[in-house]
Structure formats: C-alpha cells, structure tokens
Amino acid sequence: MKISDIALKIWAAQVVGTISSRAQFHKQFTSKANFLSYIESDTNVNNMVSQLTKEIADNTALDGVICIFDQEFPVINSTVTAKGDRPYLLFYKGDISLLHHLNNNVAVIGHTIPSESIKERERKIVSQLVKKQQVIVSGLAKGCDVIAHEECMRLGGKTIAILPSPIDQVLPKDHVEQAKQIVETGGLLISEYYAPPSNPRFEMAKRFIDRDRLQAMFAKAVILIASYAVHKGDSGARHAMNKALKYKHQTCVMYDEKRDSHVDEMELNKQFVEASSVKVLAKAARKNPAFITIDEIAKYRISSLERVNSTKQDNLF
C-alpha cells in the first residue's frame, strides 16, 4: 500500500479523535508543520501510527491513502470555501492519477430507478463523453450511477466511483463486481472512509450526502440525467447538483421540454431549467447560451482545477 508518513499520521489522528471533522482539521491545521508540531507528543496518535502500520501491512483492499499535504492529492477549487466541504484524507484503489486531471472528469448522476427510455438516453450521453476521452465520475449507486459506470467500461473508457462506504465494503452490496471491474479496467474507487459508521442509521445518511459533494468537487461538469422533485422521491443527485452550482463547476441537465415536462422522474431537471441555473444538453450547437453540447463540455476547462507542476506547498491557503 502506498501511504506517506504524513498521511499515516493524519489517519491515526483521525482514528483517535484528535481530528474530529473536516472543518476542525482545516481550521486548526493550516500547514503540515503546524499539524506535525501539534501531534508530536501525542501518545495516542503515535501508538495508533504503530497499530495502523501493522494493520495495513497485508491489506490488499486498498492501493493507497493520500492526504492534503501529498503531491498527488487532487486540486480543490478555491470556490470550495466551506472548510467542512474540503477533504483532507482519501482512501483509494485503482489509478489515483485520474484525480490529477479534473478537467477531464465529468460526473453523470441521477436517481435509482430510471425508466428504460431514460436509461437509453443516458447511455447515448455517456457514449459521446467517452468518445471525447472524458473520465466518467459517479457514485456506484443503483440506477443512473451504475449505468454510467457500466456504459463507460463497455466502451473502453475510464471511470471513477466515489463511495459512501469503505472500499472493501462496497454499497450497495449488489455492485461489488462492478467495483472490481472498475479497478480492473483502469478506473478508480475512492472513499473518505476506512471503517463502517458507529451509528449506521445516523451516519450513513450523512455519508451519502458527503459522497455527493465529492462527485461535484472532482469533476469540471456535472450532468443530471433524471430525478424526482424534492419530497417526491428525489435522489442524492440534488445534493451533487447544488454543490456543483456552489463550486461554480459546469452544471447540465438532460431535458427536452416536449418530451419531459410532464414526466415525474424529470421534475428536478425541469426545476433547474426553470430556475435558469443550469445548461440543457443539446445534440448540436445553438446560439442560445442556455444550451450546451457534449463537444462543448469536453472542451470546457476550469483554470483553477489545473494542477500546478511545482512542488505542493505545505500551506493550505
């Protein structure tokens, strides 16, 4: 397993409770030196470092752990201003370099029980994205998520699954084989979690929402395939879309007014369109700025997501 000394110490500090939350970490530890100085004489952290070192010696479920002070940690857009949104430790299996080029990544999301018509339309969108060498990001959930992963792999593309669970405890359990295939085809599994929650009923709901924000954070654009309105069966896709809007990443929806305006599973898409907060996918370029093509998405770049080639600085801000 690949893990730096600093990532191991941050992990240990998280396990023993020295780090209680993302917000607390970013507020208290503004640099690598600051963190190391704080935990230098912390016996609990040092003992946990030794314990984790033994525990991961034979661990094959993970390929590595990276922390915010590592050179290979993904770029976090400066628009992610909430300290509680910014990750500091990630567990992974697969090709971590897929997070080095976020301007190649497009998240494709939606609800868990799409109709056959929606599934077919989604596959066409994913197919076009893969042809443009875009990496498909999603959450490996049932429905639109797993369709995005599977279609991408079927076409020989690379895909990233962001999990709300430890990597060796894939949720949903029905998608264990898809997770394995993602890694085998050169993709990536990523999670903020190494252990299951102590209070599943409370913590899992939060973990799903937290996963949704990473889909928006680790992709230059988010495409909503389909979702019900709030309180009518809506999905985590709403959280991902709202975060993408907040982070000022490109937000898009699959929507045809004549075809979808009275379809319940397209109600959230309709609401975003009526709010004029997103772009609608179009098959061909139009002068109307409310529309965007797959080709335009592929060419789209966010300069603040580009990785700087110089050595990563210790300072977080």
Pure H helices in 56-143 = 116-131
pLDDT at 294: 98
Q: Which CATH architecture has domain 97-303?
A: 3-Layer(aba) Sandwich (3.40)
**Which pTM was predicted?**
0.95
At 130-184, the pLDDT tens digits run 999 999 999 999 999 999 999 999 999 999 999 999 999 999 999 999 999 999 9
The residue type of 20 is: S
Every domain of the chain and the residues it spans: 2-73, 97-303
The candidate with the shortest Cα–Cα distance to 244, out of 206, 300, 192, 286, is: 300
Please say whether the beta carbons of 89 and 192 come within 8 A: yes
Percent of the chain that is helix, strand, coil (3-state, to 5): 45, 15, 40
The two three-digit tokens of residue 281, written as one number: 């996918």
Average pLDDT over residues 45-74: 95
Strand partners, 161: 138, 189
Confidence band of 315 (pLDDT split at 50, 70, 90): very low
Model confidence at 309, in pLDDT bands (50, 70, 90)? low
What is the tens place of the pLDDT at every residue in 281-302? Answer: 999 988 899 999 999 999 999 9
Q: Residue 261 is encoded by which pair of tokens?
A: 């305006």
Q: Which two tokens stand for residue 249?
A: 């990443």
pLDDT surpasses 70 at 317: no
CB count within 10 Å of CB 229 equals 16
Predicted confidence at residue 313, as pLDDT, reads 45
> Two tokens at 311?
């050595």
127 near 223, Cβ under 8 Å? no
In this structure, the strands spanning 279-281 and 291-292 are parallel
If you average pLDDT over residues 72-81, what whole number do you get? Answer: 96
Contact 80, 14 (CB under 8 A): no
Structure confidence by residue, pLDDT tens digits, 199-255: 887 899 999 999 999 999 999 999 999 999 987 877 789 999 999 999 999 999 999
pLDDT for 232: 82
Q: Could you tell me what percent of the chain has a pLDDT over 90?
A: 89
235-269 burial, b at 16+ Cβ within 10 Å, e below that, comes to bbbbbbbbbbbbbebbbbbbbeeeebeebebbbbb
Mode of pairing for the β-strands spanning 89-94 and 188-191: antiparallel
Q: Which of 95-104, 149-158, 190-199 has the lowest mean pLDDT?
A: 190-199
Whether residue 137 contacts residue 129, with contact meaning beta carbons closer than 8 Å, is answered with no
Quickly tell me which residue has 């603040």 as its tokens: 304
Q: Compute CA distances 50 → 5, 31, 177, 224, whole Å.
A: 11, 23, 33, 44
